[in-house]
Amino acid sequence: MKITGNTILITGGTSGIGLSLAEKLLAQGNKVIITGRRANRLNDIKARLPEIIIKESDVADAGQRVELKDWISKNHPDMNMLINNAGVQLVFDLKTPIDPDRVHSETETNFVAPVHLSTLFVPLLTDKADSAIINVTSGLVFVPVALMPVYCATKAAMHSFTLSLRYQLKDTAIKVFEIIPPQVDTELGHDRRADKNKSHGGMPPDEFVGHFISAIQSDELEAAIGAAEGLRQQRETIFERFNDSVVLI
């Protein structure tokens, strides 16, 4: 896959992996469009990176997803790469009744949105010689952390969906990638931290993005990065040991 001269849409592009990707891909000669819910963050990024294109959009809202597709089709019909990156990570105590609204919010953002967006953009991408849909999942696809059961389930669902999407699009020009991060040092999971601005540690985003772009460039359609590769190889054999080290609610 070529990594220059693309028009790329990145959801969840105002922080973490999405923002690091946007910065790197912009520097490599791509037109980059980022979405996010927070207008102030989008405007701050635009002030710092004037060449970036911003679009306020909440991927958890089906109507806004359709509006995003229509806006892209009208204003950036040369778009040839969709990166489904937006995500939310919540904790649940399964010993007590859960709040269905929280489950719905996490499921809509992490699973329904990328499924819907992928299918919305397939017609726009089909006639492009160099086109791709890239889904960002997680090493927790293979070994879930019981503290965040819905998040892990949505990422496992996205792994399964990506396999099916790749198969259904095998006779088109669209390449379907799954990039599987390890723990990356971002704001993800701030739901369980007292300081909402504190990250949880892990691989620096810039380092992860380097692996991400290398995988795309080499057409590695399913790329598990760093520790995520170990989780893919060992899977259930380390589930109990992995979760014994996590403090439950």
Please give the Cα distance from 5 to 79 (Å, whole number): 10
Helix (H) or strand (E) holding 65: helix 62-75
Joined together, the tokens standing for residue 21 give 């990707």
Alpha carbons 178 and 28: distance in angstroms, whole number: 21
On whether the CB atoms of residues 17 and 186 are closer than 8 A, the answer is yes
Cα 76 to chain center, whole Å? 21
Q: In what order do the strands lie in the sheet with 131-136?
A: 53-56, 31-36, 7-10, 81-84, 131-136, 174-180, 222-224
Active site residue 167: no
Is 201 in contact with 186 (CB distance < 8 Å)? no
One-letter amino acid of 203: M
Q: How far is it, in rounded angstroms, from Cα 90 to Cα 168?
A: 31
Distance (Å, whole) CA 109 – CA 103: 10
- From 111, 121, 151, 161, active-site residue: 151
Q: What is the dihedral of CA 89, 11, 16, 246, to 10 degrees?
A: 20
β-bridge pairing 81-84 and 53-56: unpaired
Q: Which residues belong to the active site?
A: 151
